[in-house]
């Protein structure tokens, strides 16, 4: 090998491993800071943070509703003497229209609707698939502005907004259904406040509702909802199949032990892939012995998973390159030894 080729080989042998090592370090640091987040549970709602776009609902006038959600409004037979028959609210993303105050708890958007000189029992809903006979918890944050004035930061002579959230365990779509389990009505005016409620499903779907119901007609009645989450709290374990021992021995045997994660990957028990990542959770028998309670939930973000896979790939790439480099060096060393041996042989012949 001539000097130029040898210099290029030595240069590449230093630069490429260094560059790949820096990539590995960067990926490791990124994975470290986006790694498993303990204590989090999967959000069963689609677009629960209200950040993933808004579409115009064809059934409602002036209704821009977050993707995954549907508007509802009851405007007749209201318990408001001054306005027993109200009107449909205007639905907007909090930052989607000029002149609309941008209020959000997280991210840059929240779902808003408003009434002017009218009222309605109104809000948004979403029907969500869940395991049958499972207990779910719904939480959401809400903000109200109710005022006779125009200062959007101060509510004057505020109405009783009756902000609340609910779960229909049957999966029905009637906001007036007696099956809906509602949180207590709240009054969060000029501030964000959290609402929460739990219910046990009676089918393979539940329907969640975010609502407000101002009790007085004002020039400005606006309500905002953000950061909604529906999480699995408890669910029934399937009835285990009887154990008849090893086939052919005729004697019942002890149930074999197995890796819970492997069981989870096969049955879905303990492992739940979602839009944010893969959720691993422990299921412990509940006090009622009729179900299990989800504890120690851990969310592994997709970014961490992809980062780990890329880390493995780059590590394999570096190892392969180093092995190939050693192979090339050995070949060159063998060639040099052969040349030296030939020269010695030629000298001996002379």
**What pLDDT score does 294 carry?**
44
Residue 299 pLDDT level (bands cut at 50, 70, 90)? low
- Name the residue with higher pLDDT: 264 or 4: 4
The pLDDT-based confidence of 1 (bands split at 50, 70, 90) is: low
Question: pLDDT at position 138, please?
Answer: 97
Rounded Cα distance, 76 and 31, in Å:
54
| Minimum mean pLDDT range among 51-65, 252-266, 289-303, 328-342 | 252-266
- pLDDT value at position 100? 56
Beta bridge partners of 90: 114
The backbone torsions φ and ψ at residue 285, rounded to the nearest 5 degrees and listed phi first, read -55, 135
Inter-residue contact 166 to 185 (CB < 8 Å): no
Per-residue pLDDT, 249? 40
> Quick one: average pLDDT of 311-333?
85
Residue 135: φ, ψ to 5°: -100, 130
Phi and psi at 86, nearest 5°, equal -95, -155
Q: Quick check: 90 pLDDT over 50?
A: yes
For residue 180, pLDDT over 80 is answered with yes
* Mean pLDDT (whole number) for 11-18: 58
- In percent, the amount of the chain with pLDDT more than 70 equals 67
Q: Are 292 and 286 within 8 A, CB to CB?
A: yes
Tens digit of each residue's pLDDT (9 = 90 or more) over 191-209: 999 999 999 999 989 999 9
What is the rounded average pLDDT of the residues 101-107? Answer: 82
- The 10s digit of each residue's pLDDT in 226-278 is 999 999 987 654 444 444 444 434 334 333 444 444 444 444 445 555 555 56
Please compute the mean of the pLDDT values over residues 82-107 and round it to a whole number: 77
Q: Are 206 and 137 in contact (CB under 8 A)?
A: no
Residues above pLDDT 90, as percent of the chain:
33
Least confident of 56-60, 112-116, 124-128: 56-60
Check if CATH label 3.40.50.300 holds for domain 54-235. Answer: no
User: Coil, helix or strand for 315?
Assistant: helix
Q: Which residue has the tokens 């007085």?
A: 216
In this predicted structure, the answer to whether residue 3 has a pLDDT above a threshold of 70 is no
**Rounded CA separation 187/144 (Å):** 8
């Amino acid at each position: 090998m001539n000097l130029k080729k040898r210099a290029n080989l030595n240069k590449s042998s230093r630069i490429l491993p260094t560059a790949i090592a820096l990539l590995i370090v960067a990926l490791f640091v990124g994975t470290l800071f986006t790694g498993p987040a303990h204590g989090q549970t999967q959000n069963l709602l689609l677009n629960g943070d209200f950040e993933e776009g808004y579409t115009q609902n064809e059934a409602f006038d002036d209704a821009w509703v977050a993707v995954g959600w549907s508007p509802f409004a009851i405007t007749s037979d209201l318990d408001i003497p001054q306005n027993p028959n109200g009107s449909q609210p205007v639905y907007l993303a909090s930052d989607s229209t000029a002149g609309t105050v941008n209020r959000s708890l997280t991210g840059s958007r929240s779902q808003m609707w408003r009434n002017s000189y009218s009222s309605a029992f109104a809000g948004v809903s979403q029907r969500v698939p869940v395991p049958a006979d499972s207990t779910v918890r719904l939480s959401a944050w809400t903000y109200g502005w109710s005022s006779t004035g125009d200062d959007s930061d101060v509510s004057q002579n505020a109405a009783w907004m009756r902000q609340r959230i609910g779960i229909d365990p049957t999966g029905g779509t009637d906001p007036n259904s007696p099956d809906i389990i509602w949180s207590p009505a709240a009054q969060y005016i000029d501030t964000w406040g959290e609402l929460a409620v739990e219910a046990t499903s009676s089918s393979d779907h539940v329907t969640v509702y975010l609502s407000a119901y101002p009790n007085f007609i004002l020039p400005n009645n606006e309500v905002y909802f953000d950061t909604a989450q529906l999480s699995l709290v408890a669910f029934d374990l399937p009835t285990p199949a009887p154990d008849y021992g090893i086939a052919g021995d005729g004697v019942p045997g002890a149930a074999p032990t197995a890796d819970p994660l492997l069981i989870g990957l096969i049955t879905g028990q303990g492992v739940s892939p979602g839009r944010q990542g893969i959720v691993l959770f422990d299921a412990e028998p509940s006090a009622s012995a009729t179900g299990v309670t989800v504890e120690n939930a851990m969310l592994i973000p997709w970014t961490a998973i992809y980062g780990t896979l890329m880390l493995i790939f780059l590590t394999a790439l570096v190892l392969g390159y180093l092995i190939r480099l050693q192979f090339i060096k050995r070949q060159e060393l063998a060639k040099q030894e052969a040349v030296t041996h030939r020269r010695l042989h030629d000298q001996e012949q002379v």
